[in-house]
Structure 1
Amino acid sequence: MEYIFERVSFEALNQNHENKNVFISVGKRIWNSRWTADISLLLVALIWGTTYVASKDVVSSVPVLQFLFIRFALTTVLMLPLTFGAIRRADRSTWLTGLVFGLFLLAIFTLETYGVANTSAANAGFIISLFAVMVPLIDSIVYRRRAKLGLLGAVVLSVLGTALLTMRGAQIHVNLGDLLVLGAALCRASQMTLTKKMTDGKQVDSGALTTIQLGVVAIGSGVVSMFQHPSLTGLTLSFWLITGYLAVFATMFAFFIQMTMIRRTSPARVAVLMSSEPVFAAVCSVLLLGEHLSVVEMVGGLCIVAAMLWGRRIS
């Protein structure tokens, strides 16, 4: 009887072990699948769509660089316990790549946040999404490939969409905020292409790379902010709640997912998935800030989204 009991117990243990291995195997396949990459990046687009409303609310009472410093310093502190071992093992190439990406991120968020402070959240969301049309152009330059002729149509459509989006009455009115966000879009497109180029074929730890570049943004914005605004102001409970959301979800989670998933697909495919970001931004700006989009502006926004999808189709 004892022998039979031991045999049954052993077989049950072995079966549990096999089930566990199957579960782990299925989990790995799901995690490494393109569908997981697509869904994860789409979720990032949704989260980033809400950041324009959140940032616009915060920078109405807190200086831009001070806000960026607190946001990215908080994110870096939260990331360190999770990635400290990987950072210690990081080689020179990882540190160099993180530094380059960090400088790009500093430029992107500085231009974008100053831009949001000087234009509508909906406009910022649509204009920043122009990076998707810029990606194939920059991609062709970096990889020395001739851009397809049809891409010109997507560029023209995106320009038309931007013109309609910034039209006031019968005239096009491009303010400083619109131009700053456009500069952020150019920086984002460059960073996305370089991410693929600098990490392609390399064993780079996404956590270490993400933490390094976020730390670069925190240090860079903190140094400049220290000279511009030596004292902290406007740090209300609302500020900390919004900044906490941006730090945990819109920065730590979103950039880790982006750095992990972008290497499982192409920059152009990422651009398509992220094309939903301006739609989320426009919806949030209307629902949460009470912003108004005219018919002409909505048509302009749709032209930009269509241009992004067109650019992906022909890239």
Structure 2
Amino acid sequence: MTPPRRASPLATLGLLAMTAVWGSTFVLIKDVVGRMPVADFLAVRFALAALAMLALFARPAWRLGWRQSVRALLLGLLYGAAQLLQTWGLKLIAPSVSGFVTGMYVVFTPLLATVLLRQRPNGAVWLAVLLATAGLALLSLNGFSVDAGVWLTLASAALYALHIVGLGQWSRPEQAPGMSAVQMVAIAAVCLLATAPHGPQPPPDRAAWLAVLYMALVAGAGAMLVQTWAQAHLPATRAAIVMTTEPVFAAGFAVALGVEAPTWRMVAGGALVLAAMYLVELAPRRAAPPPEALHHEV
């Protein structure tokens, strides 16, 4: 059994940087999927990401061994299926509702960790989950009805949570490049299958190509590498709570680019999400006894 790993501030910063990049893609995705089919967009994006990962990390991927390779493939299949379900759901519901329901992985993650791994989050973690959920609601919701799109998106949130739990359990820092590459190949395969039998259509123009390249290389390959490495250092539930800052960054980019005007809901929702992250990230370290005290207790 692997001993519990101590949370790393650098891993938290990595996840924050990753979610900032994800948040920057909302405006780009909205523009691109308006001009090409969703499945084709995902297939091209992740196929390019997979090619880039294999070009850089083919040797680490080959050295993983069969067990870690199978695990990485399974994680990639989960993530790819989640991407498709989330995007199909987005066609049926408002983007704000999609953002909230997708963020429910912050609730599913501790539940799955409890059921599958017998991990029992403490009271502070559950309070952080509630704060993050309330923050997501303020950021995203102006009305809510449960329909097929909501159910599809909720299923995607459950798959994202399963991916977070599995990655937290199986990822190792030294294997992050290889596991990232194998995951990306599996994600690309799932998305390419969704375009059968005709196969993916390319982006329609230069602006779309540039957006897809950014989302493939930075928000795709780069983000997966960072997440895989960071989750080797962070408990799954803590990682999920840190990643709920994605809609905060998305709102910030929307305001900065002039797409949306700032509102009190953005400020209050963002504050609740940041409070949740503080609760699980900074408060435990401030409350921990100094190393000298631990040394004397031994």
> TM-score normalised to the size of structure 2?
0.77
Q: Cα–Cα, structure 1 residues 142 and 136, in superposed 2: closer, same or farther, change >3 Å?
A: same
| Counterpart residue number, 2:152 | 180
- d(CA) in 1 for partners of 2:94 and 2:270? 13
Looking at structure 2, the residues matched to 79 and 151 of structure 1 have their Cα atoms a distance apart, in angstroms, of 34
Query: Is the alpha carbon distance of 1:145 and 1:266 closer, same or farther for their aligned partners in structure 2, counting shifts above 3 Å?
Result: closer
Asked whether 1:215 is paired with 2:185, we answer: yes
Q: 2:102 aligns with which of 121, 128, 135?
A: 128
Pairing 1:91-110 to 2, within 5 Å after superposition = 91-110=65-84
How many angstroms does 1:104 deviate by? 0.9
Given candidates 76, 84, 91, the residue that maps to 2:58 is: 84
Cα shift at 1:246:
0.5
Which residue among 162, 165, 169 is the counterpart of 1:197? 169
- C-alpha separation between the residues in 2 aligned to 1:124 and 1:298? 20
Residue-pair matches, total = 277
| Cα 1:119–1:279 shift into 2, 3 Å | farther
8 Å Cα contact 2:68-2:179 kept in structure 1: yes
Moved more, 59-68 or 297-306: 297-306
Q: State the partner residue of 1:8.
A: none
The structural deviation recorded for 1:33 is: 9.3
Query: Is residue 235 of structure 2 the alignment partner of residue 235 of structure 1?
Result: no
The secondary structure found in structure 2 opposite 1:284 is helix
Cα gap change, 1:196/1:300 in structure 2, threshold over 3 Å: closer, same or farther? closer
Q: Distance in 1 between matches of 2:128 and 2:230?
A: 25
Counterpart Cα distance in 1 of 2:173 and 2:9 = 22
Deviation for aligned residue 1:162: 6.3
Q: Does the 8 Å contact 1:118/1:177 carry over to 2?
A: yes
Q: Structure 1: 5+ residue runs without aligned partners?
A: 1-31
**How far is 1:34 from its partner?**
2.5
Residue 276 of structure 1 pairs with residue 248 of structure 2: no
Q: CA 1:160–1:264 in structure 2 vs 1: closer, same or farther (change >3 Å)? A: closer
Query: Which residue in the other structure is 1:72 paired with?
Result: 46
Equivalent-residue separation in structure 2 for 1:305 and 1:128 (angstroms): 18
Output the CA distance in 1 between the equivalents of 2:83 and 2:253.
19
Higher Cα Rg, which structure: 1
What is the CA RMSD across the aligned residues, in angstroms?
3.3
User: Does the 8 A contact of 2:27 with 2:254 survive in 1?
Assistant: yes
Aligned to 1:113: 87
Distance 2:92 2:255 in 1: 17
Structure 1 residue 148, shift from structure 2 partner: 4.6
Q: Does 1:58 align with 2:28?
A: no
* TM-score in terms of structure 1 length: 0.74
The structure in which a higher percent of residues are helix is: 1
| Cα deviation code 1:184-224 (max 9, x no counterpart) | 2221111111112234xx68622121111111111221122
CA contact (8 A) 1:166 1:297 kept: no
Say whether the 8 Å CA contact 2:19–2:246 is kept in structure 1.
yes
* Conserved 8 A contact 1:104-1:191: yes
Q: What per-residue deviation string (whole Å, max 9, x for no partner) do you get for residues 256-298 of structure 1?
A: 0111121122223323332321101122334447346765677
Q: Deviations over 1:112-166 (max 9, x none)?
A: 2334444454544444333223322221112224455676666666666666643
Q: Residue 34 of structure 2: SS of its match in structure 1?
A: coil
2:118 aligns to what SS in structure 1? coil
